[in-house]
Amino acid sequence: MWLLKLSNAIGDTLKQEPDRLKDLANDLIAVYHYDSLEDIRECLKKGRRGVYGFGHNKRGFISMILLREWMAKHLDEKAALRERQIKQNQVSATEIENFDAKKFYESGLKYQKKIADLEKKRKRDKLSPRQYAEFKNQYFENREDDEV
């Protein structure tokens, strides 16, 4: 179905050649069996929209060479995005070296004490869950940033 949409969009006669359609579909699945169908769909959609161009092929003709060029570009984009996400999530070596465990645990104990104090206040003043949530949010919004 995705190949037929692509065919209609770029003016290829793929739907009139069922053997070629079947061969391209089988080849795509065989070559990219480790990749998801979502990747193949996204690649064909972007190709249909002209994101990847037509490479070495003439416009309006779908071939496996063209599809492989598009998939290579798509998978490169996907890998680059994944690399950026990994880099964003990594902790730098200087952050690890400058980590002060004693300060970290002290701030954690302060936080636990403040939560316990808030809980005692909730029980003592018989606050409703909504009132307690409002009070708690207000308390943490007004606290000093270096405390916790």
Say what the pLDDT of residue 111 is. 83
Place of tokens 């949530």: 133
Instruction: Write out the chain in H/E/C secondary structure.
Output: CHHHHHHHHHCCCHHHCHHHHHHHHHHHHHHCCCCCHHHHHHHHHHHHCCCCCCCCCCCCCCCHHHHHHHHHHHHHHHHHHHHHHHHHHCCCHHHHHCCCHHHHHHHHHHHHHHHHHHHHHHHHHCCCHHHHHHHHHHHHHHCCCCCC
Q: What is the pTM of this model?
A: 0.53
Could you tell me how far CA 2 lies from the centroid of its own chain? 23
What is the token pair recorded at 58? 């003439």
Asked if residue 146 has pLDDT above 60, the reply is: no
Residues 26-55, mean pLDDT to the nearest whole number: 84
Of all residues in the chain, the percent with pLDDT exceeding 70 is 80
Q: Mean pLDDT lowest for which of 8-12, 41-45, 63-67, 89-93?
A: 8-12
Residues 2-8, mean pLDDT to the nearest whole number: 70
Asked if residue 38 has pLDDT above 50, the reply is: yes
CA dist., res. 142 & res. 110, Å (int): 16
Say what the pLDDT of residue 142 is. 74
What are the C-alpha distances in Å from 128 to residues 52, 114, 118? 58, 19, 13
Say what the pLDDT of residue 148 is. 42
Per-residue model confidence as pLDDT tens digits over 63-94? 788 888 888 999 999 999 999 888 877 766 66
CA dist., res. 50 & res. 138, Å (int): 52
Residues 40-48, mean pLDDT to the nearest whole number: 85
Amino acid at position 77, single letter: E
